[in-house]
Amino acid sequence: MGFDPHEPEQRSRLVKALAVADITAGELWLRYFSLSGCAGEYEVQAYLEGLLSLPAGQRDLLAMAANELIEETPEALLDDKPPLLAPYGDQLNGATGDSWEQGNSSPPA
């Protein structure tokens, strides 16, 4: 998918985090749009389905939008356990979405 070898990992881990927090593509897009995101709703949907490639900056913005929404969910506010967050470009490690990403981990050397 695309030129960036990290894209599938970032996408699948985003999809997984959205599923866990029960956030729809429409909700994600609206928040991403409010954060100055420039891809349309259908493009975002296609990206989530692995049908379209997005630039690295827009992928990080989607991750940020998702994480803002995830941190606002009642579960995230009530639970002691850190929620499953969407990874940023510098947090990718070759995993395919099965590992628990806890955000703000240091970038790989």
Partner 1 sequence: MNYLSLDDLTAAVARIRGLLLTQEKVDNAVALLAQAIKESTPGAAGTGVSLLDWAGRQTSSSFTDVLVKQADTAQYELGEGPCLTAWAAEDVVLVDDVQADGRWPAWTSAVAALPIRSVVSAPLLAGKEAIGALKIYSALPGQFDANSGRVLSLFAGTAATLLAHIQGKETPQRMTEELKATLASRDTINRACGISMERHGMSQDQALQRMIRDARDAGASLGRISEKLITKVPPAER
How far is 87 from 33, CA to CA, in rounded Å?
19
How far is 16 from 20, CA to CA, in rounded Å?
6
36 touches partner 1 (CB under 8 A):
yes
Among 46, 53, 68, 100, binds partner 1 (CB under 8 A): 68
Among 21, 60, 70, 97, binds partner 1 (CB under 8 A): 60
57 touches partner 1 (CB under 8 A):
yes
How far is 26 from 16, CA to CA, in rounded Å?
16
Shortest spacing between CB 34 and partner 1, in angstroms: 4
93 touches partner 1 (CB under 8 A):
no
Q: Which amino acid is at 14?
A: L
Beta strands in 34-81 (DSSP E): none
55 touches partner 1 (CB under 8 A):
yes
